[in-house]
Amino acid sequence: MTKKVKQQKTQRPPLPAYIDYKDVELLRAYLSVFGRIVPRYYTGVTLKQQRNLARAIKLAREMALLPYTSKY
C-alpha cells in the first residue's frame, strides 16, 4: 500500500521507456537534496519504473557519475 500525497514536492520530468544510467540530469531530478533516492509516493512513478530508476542511480553512483552524498 502506498502513501497518498496530495501534491508533489517538486515537479519532475516524465520518465522515458528506458532509463539510462548515463542520463545524469534525469537521475538528479529523482534525488533529494541530500542525495537519497526520492520515494515513489512523492514522484508518482510506477513500481517497475522505481526499480529501474533505483538500479540506474546505483549504477551511476558506482561509475562516479553521481555522488553518494551531496556533502562532498
Q: What are phi and psi of 6, to 5 degrees?
A: -70, -35
Evaluate whether residue 3 is within a structural domain: no
Give strand ranges (E) for the chain.
none
pLDDT at 70: 76
Confidence of residue 17 (pLDDT cuts 50, 70, 90): very high
DSSP conformational letter for 45: -
Which range marks the domain in which residue 50 is found?
24-62
Evaluate whether residue 1 is within a structural domain: no
Evaluate whether residue 37 is within a structural domain: yes
Question: How many domains does the structure of the chain reveal?
Answer: 1
Evaluate whether residue 34 is within a structural domain: yes
For the question of whether the overall pTM of this predicted structure is more than 0.85, the answer is no
Is the predicted pLDDT of residue 10 greater than 90, yes or no? no
pLDDT at 28: 94
Evaluate whether residue 42 is within a structural domain: yes
Evaluate whether residue 8 is within a structural domain: no
Tell me the three state secondary structure of residue 37: strand
Evaluate whether residue 53 is within a structural domain: yes
Cell of 24: 545524469
